[in-house]
Amino acid sequence: MRDVIVIGGGPAGASAAIYLQRSKLDVLLIMKDHGTLEKTGHIDNYWGFESTMDGKELVEKGLLQAKRLGVTIVEEEVLDIENDMFGGHKFTVKTDKESYEGKTVLLATGQSKPNLRVKGFKEFTGKGISFCAICDGFIYRNKKIGVVGNKKFMSEELDTLSNFTDDIKVFTNANELTVDVDKEVVTDKITEIQGDEVVKKVITENGEHEVDALFIAMGTPSANDFALRMGAMIDKNNIVVDDKFMTNIPGLFAAGDCVGGLLQIAKAVSDGAHAALSLNKYVRAL
Ligand SMILES: Cc1cc2nc3c(=O)[nH]c(=O)nc-3n(C[C@H](O)[C@H](O)[C@H](O)COP(=O)(O)OP(=O)(O)OC[C@H]3O[C@@H](n4cnc5c(N)ncnc54)[C@H](O)[C@@H]3O)c2cc1C
């Protein structure tokens, strides 16, 4: 089992991994791509570069530095994180290829994307709208379920939900479907979620679809998706952390854009360093 699994290879994750590795902890960094800076041409306000710096190049330099110091880096997409419900400091991080175990996890996955921005979404969150098939799927056995998503994350949720019911519709919300599914697929945009006490209908541009529950698994899971599934607190689209960068889940830390504040490289690097110092103390006290 690793001491720390860092999810994200941007300024926050790479900076944290460098500090953690130099503290002689056993670190694994998992990243799916170059993050926010991948397509950012000119960085002129980050310290230490005489000429303008390409964002992707800056990220690559950080990762090469981490590798030189001995950090193990894998390029995979994290689809789920499970934590030991009995507080045993064991996190299982599942990617599109592998499964890894860590005593702690640092989320450094950048700013979370907003969820569905449609009427009824907030109102029915927790009243039939769910973010975790494994947590809530059983409640809806033999019922009508909708799943919103278009990629591997959605198909993983679909697999779990298929254990509970056959009556499932997939809503791509007008995004390209990149995985094969053997369920009915609704490809037009969702415009509203309706219900009374609980969710009852998904309204799309071209139709109305009755559901007893709607599971959200859009695109690639972001920090907020992981937080919601594990019960970590979120405030205004940001993960809530204490002054040690730990969430309300013991052993789950977060840093960089996903915790909000100044959305800049300098702050993300600083967050990563602070989180790493706290993680070092935390892991050594376990
Ligand atoms: C257009 C634009 C221009 C900008 N210009 C500047 C600038 O000039 N100067 C400046 O200081 N800041 C700039 N920023 C802000 C800066 O990019 C961010 O503040 C910074 O990148 C945040 O770092 P981070 O490490 O928190 O997240 P990110 O850099 O976004 O890194 C997130 C990491 O998490 C990984 N990840 C996410 N989800 C998963 C998953 N499910 N599985 C595995 N890995 C995952 C990604 O692959 C990536 O490695 C700009 C931002 C934008 C959008």
For residues 136 and 96, membership in a common domain is answered with no
Tokens 């937080």 belong to: 227
Is residue 33 lining ligand 1, measured as CB closer than 6 Å?
Answer: yes
Using CA atoms, how far apart are residues 272 and 6, in angstroms rounded to an integer? 10
110 close to ligand 1 (CB < 6 Angstrom): yes
**Overall domain count for the chain:** 2
Judge if the beta carbon of residue 62 lies within 6 A of ligand 1. Answer: no
What per-residue confidence (pLDDT) applies to 87? Answer: 65
Q: Check pocket membership of 271 for ligand 1, CB cut-off 6 A.
A: no
How does residue 57 score in pLDDT terms, banded at 50, 70 and 90? very high
Domain boundary, last residue among 216, 233, 253: 216
What's the CA angle centered on 217, arms 216 and 223, to 5 degrees?
105
Residue nearest to atom 35 of ligand 1 (CA): 8
Pick the last residue of a domain from 163, 197, 216. Answer: 216
The closest-lying atom of ligand 1 relative to the alpha carbon of residue 271 is 26
Whether residue 140 sits in one domain with residue 67:
no
Instruction: Reply yes or no on whether the pLDDT at 139 is more than 90.
Output: yes
How does residue 4 score in pLDDT terms, banded at 50, 70 and 90? very high
Both 87 and 155 in a single domain? no
21 and 105 part of one domain: yes
Which helix (H) or strand (E) covers residue 200, if one does? strand 199-204
For residues 157 and 257, membership in a common domain is answered with: no
Q: What is the amino acid identity at position 248?
A: N
* Phi, then psi, of 44 in degrees rounded to 5: -120, -5
Q: What is the pLDDT of residue 134?
A: 86
Q: What is the mean pLDDT of the chain?
A: 94
The DSSP symbol for 18 reads: H
Whether this prediction's pTM lies above 0.75 is answered by yes
Higher pLDDT, 9 or 125: 9
CA nearest to 78, candidates 134, 11, 8? 8
Q: What is the distance in A from the centroid of ligand 1 to the CA of 33?
A: 10
Pocket test for ligand 1, best of 53, 109, 239, 262 (most atoms within 8 A of CB): 109
Q: Are residues 104 and 11 in the same domain?
A: yes
Q: What is the pLDDT of residue 189?
A: 96
Spell out the residues 6+ positions from residue 159 whose beta carbon is closer than 8 angstroms to its own: none
Q: What is the pLDDT of residue 31?
A: 97
**Same domain for 28 and 44?**
yes
pLDDT at site 228: 86
* Residue 171's pLDDT band (cuts 50, 70, 90): very high
Cα–ligand 1 centroid distance for 215 (angstroms) = 27
Same domain, residue pair 193 and 234: no
Name the residue of 112, 265, 269 whose CB sits within 8 Å of the most ligand 1 atoms, as the mutation to test its pocket: 265
CA distances to 148, 212, 244 from 109, rounded to whole Å, are 21, 32, 18
State mean pLDDT over 113-121: 87
Report the pLDDT averaged over residues 72-87: 89
Q: Which residue, among 228, 264, 270, 232, has the nearest Cα to 248 in the 3D structure?
A: 232
3: pLDDT strictly greater than 90: yes
d(CA 258, CA 239): 6
**Which of 200, 216, 232 is the endpoint of a domain?**
216
28 and 106 together in one domain: yes
Q: Which of 33-42, 168-177, 269-278 has the lowest mean pLDDT?
A: 33-42
Task: Tell me the residue range of the domain where 47 lies.
Answer: 2-113+221-284
Residue 39 has pLDDT above 70, yes or no: yes
Per-residue pLDDT of 118-137, as tens digits, reads: 999 989 988 999 988 988 99
Q: Residue 85: pLDDT band by 50, 70, 90 thresholds?
A: low
141 and 231 fall within a common domain: no
Do 125 and 156 have their domain in common?
yes
Mean pLDDT of 71-92: 89
Please tell me the distance between residue 264's alpha carbon and the centre of ligand 1 in angstroms: 9
CATH of the domain at 236: 3.50.50.60
Q: Which long-range contacts (CB under 8 A, 24 or more apart) does 171-180 make?
A: 171/146, 171/147, 171/202, 171/204, 171/209, 172/148, 173/116, 173/148, 173/218, 175/150, 175/218, 175/219, 176/150, 177/150, 178/150, 178/151, 178/152, 179/150, 179/151, 179/152, 179/154, 179/155, 180/155
Q: Looking at the structure, tell me whether residues 96 and 29 fall in a common domain.
A: yes
